Amino acid sequence: MHKLISPRHILAIAFTSVALCLYGCNNTNDLATSATPVEVVPIPENARQLEAEIAEVKLRQSKATTPVKIVVAIDQSGSMQDARVNYVNFADLQSIFLKVEESGGEIALSAICDRSNRPLERLLFPEPPKLDEKLLTLPAPVSQLADEGSPFEKEEREKAHAAKLASYNSEIDQKSREIAAHKKQLQQHRQESQKRIEAVKPDIEKILKTPRNCQATDIQSSLNRAKWYFEEATPKSHKRFALFITDGLDSFSEAPANLPADARVILVNGSVNVGIFGKIKHDRFESPKRAITHLVDLM
């Protein structure tokens, strides 16, 4: 026999259902309004341009390497005819000049002949100007003025917002001026480097164009000059490279000078015998151009 539900129970169930519905609806509204949307602040055009310029400076400075010291010694003895090595011209050295201009450092050239103990022909490149990393950051953009709060305080809010915008734009303008000044310094650095190259070009070409007709080969003295050059005191540490274009056949000695352990030696020699360089660790190439490319890659 089924029990009948009394009107009182029916009324209680109805009230409970309505209460649950109202509670759920209210909580849904709370969830919908509790998630604050993330404000996307647009970046002004002047800041976008500055951002691109800063990225360019950062990339260039990230590629900057340790200053270098390079010796290039070229054999001018008659035996070089048997070594089957091409002549080096001034244009071949341009890639070395450009790389040293970017890093800073010095190049020293010499001729290997019957008396190789002569002063080196030097070309010094100061390090390029750099910007402080603190300058290579953008200020945070100013949020848009919110249309809320008391109408009586609106004027004060607008003044405060305008002051923030003015400060932001002033900082953007200041950084833009500093970037522009830095670009000008880099341009001046390149121009000065080019003047240095042109100033020593006649002396370098004299070494490069001298006929291979020396009656003896004094490689030992050339190695000693390179050793003394590398051991000179410098304010900063340098990477050290020696490029020798020679058959390695010394007319006076078979005991090579001890170059610094960290000096990377590159030899250009097209013959079977490397002579004195058999006792010196080196990277060997048949072509001067290929050896120069290798040197630039190592820098």
- Rounded to 10 deg, the angle between the 94-103 and 288-298 helix axes is 10
Which residue has 């009230």 as its token pair?
Answer: 15
Domain identity same for 50 and 149: yes
Domain identity same for 52 and 73: no
Is the pTM of the predicted complex or chain greater than 0.95? no
The tally of CA atoms less than 13 A away on the side-chain side of residue 252 is: 15
Residue 277 DSSP code:
G
Domain identity same for 290 and 206: yes
The reply to whether 21 falls in a domain is no
The reply to whether 249 falls in a domain is yes
Domain identity same for 92 and 170: no
Domain identity same for 142 and 213: no
HEC assignment per residue over 111-153: EECCCCCCCCEEEEECCCCCCCHHHCCCCCCCCCCCCCCCHHH
Whether the Cβ atoms of residue 277 and residue 269 lie closer than 8 Å to each other: yes
State pLDDT tens for residues 6-65: 555 544 454 455 444 444 444 444 444 444 444 445 566 778 888 888 888 888 887 777
CA dist 92 → 8, 79, 291 (Å): 106, 23, 10
**Percentage of residues in the chain having pLDDT higher than 90:** 29
Domain identity same for 125 and 147: no
More confident residue, 179 or 81: 179
Residues forming a β-bridge with 105: 68, 125
The reply to whether 241 falls in a domain is yes
User: How far apart (Å, rounded) are the C-alpha atoms in residues 298 and 284?
Assistant: 14
DSSP 3-state assignment of 286?
A: coil
Helical ranges in the chain per DSSP H: 7-34, 45-62, 80-83, 94-103, 154-209, 219-231, 288-298
Domain identity same for 137 and 258: no
Report the pLDDT value the prediction gives residue 149, as an integer from 0 to 100: 65
Q: Give backbone dihedrals phi and psi of 131, rounded to 5 degrees, phi first.
A: -95, 145
